[in-house]
Structure 1
Amino acid sequence: MQSAVYIRAIRGSWLLIAVFVACGGIGLGALAQSREPVYTSEARLLVTFTPTLEHPSQQTSRLMQRLAKTYTTAVATPRVTEPVIGKLGLDTTPEELGEQITASSPVNSHEIRVTVTDTSAARAAAIVNALAAELGTIAARNKPSAELPANVGISVVSGASVPGKPEPVRWPLHALAGAFAGFGIGLGLAVLRGRRNDDAQTGVPLRR
Structure 2
Amino acid sequence: MTDSPPDTTLVHSKGSHHMDLRGYLKVLQRRWISILVITLATVAVAAGVTFALTPQYTASTRLFFGVQGATTGSDLAQGSTFAENQLTSYAQVATSPLVLQPVISKLGLQTTPDGLAQQVSAYAPTDTVIIQVTVNDTNPQRAADIANAVGEQLASVASDLSPRRQDGSQAVKATILSPAQLPTGQSSPNILRNIAAGLILGLLLGIAVAIVRRLLDTGVRNETDLEQVTDVPVLGVVPFDSDADAHPVVIRDDPLSVRSEALRRVRTNLQFVEAAEHSRSVVVTSSIPGEGKTTAALNLALSLADAGLSVALVDADLRRPSLARFAGIEGSVGLTTVLIGEANLDDVLQPYGDTSLRVLPAGQVPPNPSELLGSGAMAELLERLTAQFDMVVLDSPPLLPVTDGAILGRLAGTTLLVAGADRLHRTQLRAALESLSTAGVHVSGIVLNKVAAHNFGPYEYGYTYSQRGAQTGASVPARRAEARAASDADKEVEHARG
Please give the TM-score of this superposition, normalised by the length of structure 1: 0.73
Asked whether the 8 Å contact 1:9–1:187 carries over to 2, the reply is no
Does residue 190 (structure 1) correspond to residue 210 (structure 2)? The answer is yes
What SS is found at the alignment partner of 2:425?
helix
Asked whether the 8 Å contact 1:20–1:179 carries over to 2, the reply is no
Cα shift readout 1:140-175 (whole Å, capped 9, x = no counterpart): 1344269x9834332222322333444486322211
Q: For residue 62 of structure 1, what is the aligned residue in structure 2? A: 81
What SS is found at the alignment partner of 1:114?
strand
Asked whether the 8 Å contact 2:35–2:203 carries over to 1, the reply is yes
1:15 maps to a residue whose letter is: I
Larger radius of gyration: 2
Does residue 135 (structure 1) correspond to residue 146 (structure 2)? The answer is no
What SS is found at the alignment partner of 1:150?
coil
Cα shift readout 1:125-145 (whole Å, capped 9, x = no counterpart): 221122123323432134426
Unaligned runs of 5+ in 1: none
CA distance, structure 1, for counterparts of residue 203 and residue 95 of structure 2 = 38
* Higher relative contact order (CA closer than 8 Å, sequence separation 6+): 1
CA distance, structure 2, for counterparts of residue 93 and residue 24 of structure 1 = 38
**TM superposition shift of 1:120:** 0.7
**TM superposition shift of 1:6:** 5.5
**TM superposition shift of 1:96:** 4.6
Asked whether the 8 Å contact 2:119–2:137 carries over to 1, the reply is yes
Does residue 111 (structure 1) correspond to residue 335 (structure 2)? The answer is no
Q: For residue 37 of structure 2, what is the aligned residue in structure 1? A: 19
Sequence identity, in percent?
26
Q: Which one has the bigger helix percentage? A: 1
Q: For residue 66 of structure 2, what is the aligned residue in structure 1? A: 48
Q: For residue 154 of structure 1, what is the aligned residue in structure 2? A: 174
1:186 maps to a residue whose letter is: G
C-alpha distance 45-28 of structure 1, shift in aligned 2 (>3 A): same
Matches within 5 A, 1:66-145: 66-77=85-96, 80-92=99-111, 94-139=113-158, 140-144=160-164
C-alpha distance 25-64 of structure 1, shift in aligned 2 (>3 A): same
Q: For residue 7 of structure 2, what is the aligned residue in structure 1? A: none
Cα shift readout 1:91-140 (whole Å, capped 9, x = no counterpart): 44545533433423344332222121211122112211221233234321
2:50 maps to a residue whose letter is: A
What SS is found at the alignment partner of 1:113?
strand
Asked whether the 8 Å contact 2:60–2:132 carries over to 1, the reply is yes
Aligned residues: 202
Asked whether the 8 Å contact 1:136–1:155 carries over to 2, the reply is yes
Aligned-residue Cα RMSD (Å) equals 3.5
Q: For residue 181 of structure 1, what is the aligned residue in structure 2? A: 201
**TM superposition shift of 1:73:** 3.6
C-alpha distance 90-7 of structure 1, shift in aligned 2 (>3 A): farther
Match of 1:10 among 24, 28, 33: 28
CA distance, structure 1, for counterparts of residue 80 and residue 144 of structure 2 = 30
CA distance, structure 1, for counterparts of residue 213 and residue 110 of structure 2 = 51
Q: For residue 201 of structure 1, what is the aligned residue in structure 2? A: 425
Cα shift readout 1:56-113 (whole Å, capped 9, x = no counterpart): 5334322212223321243235554455345434344545533433423344332222
Asked whether the 8 Å contact 1:29–1:172 carries over to 2, the reply is no
2:76 maps to a residue whose letter is: S
C-alpha distance 10-83 of structure 1, shift in aligned 2 (>3 A): farther
Question: Which deviates further from its counterpart, 93-102 or 109-118?
Answer: 93-102
What SS is found at the alignment partner of 1:64?
helix
Runs of 4+ in 1 over 6 A off after TM superposition: none
CA distance, structure 2, for counterparts of residue 109 and residue 65 of structure 1 = 7
CA distance, structure 1, for counterparts of residue 141 and residue 115 of structure 2 = 18
What SS is found at the alignment partner of 2:66?
strand
Cα shift readout 1:6-30 (whole Å, capped 9, x = no counterpart): 6564344222112111222244245
